[in-house]
Structures are given as C-alpha cells and as structure tokens.
Amino acid sequence: MDDVIKDIILFSGLEDIELERIENVMSIKTYPKNSMIVLEEEFGDTVYIVRSGTIKITRLNDEGKEVILALMGAGEFFGELAALDGEARSANALAQEECELYLLHRSDFIDLLKHNTNISFKLLSELAKRIRHSDQQIEALSLDDAEHRIGVCILNLAEDNGVIRKGQVTIKKLPYQQDIANMAGTSRETVSRVLKLLVEKGFVTKSGHTLTIPNYGYYKKVFG
C-alpha cells in the first residue's frame, strides 16, 4: 500500500484494510508544471487528491484578473463540489510544479461517503474550515488596509501549511509574492513592502521562502 494514502486528510485514521480498498478504486496521474487540471464552469466527475506537488486554485474576477483562492499540497483534495452536486466546476486548478494526483471517480467517491461515516465527517470538517477561510478572505478584501489583507493571507497559509512548535509557526514554502498579491487582491510591490513592515514590527521573520511567526497566538489575535 502507498504510505502517502495514510496522510490524506479524508482518510486519516482509517484501518489499513479500508485504505487498501480505497487505493484499489483510485488511479494516479502526473501533470506537468503549469498544466491546467480543472477549468471553471466545465463539468467533471472526478475528485482529485494531491499525492505530490502544489496545486493553485483560482478564479478570474470581473476585470479578468486571477484571484488565488487556495494553494493545495500533498494530502489535500479538490473537485469534490462538482462530484457532490453534479454542477459545473466552481474554480480553476493549475499545477504549480510537476504534480502527482490520485483520481477518484464520482461514483466511488459517493460510495465511500455512504458507507464510511468517518470519511463523511472529515469531508464536512474540511468544508467548514474552507468556509471559515473564505469568510476571513472576503472580510479582509473589503478593507482598504493592505497590511491587514496580507496579514490574513499569511494567517490562512500558516493554518493550512504551517508547522507549529511551542507557539511558533513556520511556513517552509511561502508562495511567490505575486501569488500572495493575487490572494490578497493587491500588487506584488505592496506585498514586498508589507512583508518588510511585518518583519520590522516583529510579527514575522523571513529567510528565503521560509517565513516564521514567532508568536502565533498574538499574530492570530491581531489578524484573525
């Protein structure tokens, strides 16, 4: 059995025999860097689970500008909404680097939900988490304060991808500044300026693409 399956959010805590059954109904596909996996408004019946690499989930705003909704890494999943309701895709999914994905057909996905309450509960918990993040992002985008918008963005990245230890959170692969700008609805230059400001204020430290929040509790109180 592929050990990566044990780290998938939906399947964590399942017995090996259950994981093996799930592995048998999934296939693996490799996507080159910058390839489009899912197109907004197209119809599809596949749920995608990231085995390796990073997936960028995006939409275009009214001006045709890319807005990044989420960055997904190993163990995370997308495409579940269209699989659940049979409607068109709600966003685009792009491979930021070469990625390996598990593919799970809609009928198998629905069958898993029907016969395993643990998977259904994990799905509901993840969807609730995404709604909370969306609410935070919408609230932040309504503000004129670029520092707060970018601060909320970093908070979401910390909650999704950060490693916490003794009250300190480290994001080892901070997205490019243009990607953060697309998440926060601002410019790359503004992101660069605000990151320097956050460092000066002691909210974060930064080394290359590694960003650390020394006092995560305080940071969350300010930007949460």
Topology classification of domain 3-134: Jelly Rolls (2.60.120)
CA dihedral 178, 184, 187, 192 (to 10 degrees): -70
Segments of the chain with pLDDT less than 70: 141, 143-144
pLDDT at 160: 84
Q: What is the DSSP string of 104-161?
A: EEHHHHHHHHHH-HHHHHHHHHHHHHHHHHHHHHHHHHTSS-HHHHHHHHHHHHHHHH
Domain ranges within the chain, ordered by starting residue: 3-134, 144-223
Q: What is the pTM of this model?
A: 0.79
pLDDT at 143: 66
pLDDT at 56: 94
CA–CA distance, 130 with 138 (Å, rounded to integer): 12
The CATH class of the 144-223 domain is mainly alpha
pLDDT at 144: 64
pLDDT at 11: 93
CA–CA distance, 191 with 174 (Å, rounded to integer): 12
pLDDT digits (tens, 9 = 90+) for 162-186: 899 989 999 998 999 999 999 888 8
pLDDT at 61: 79
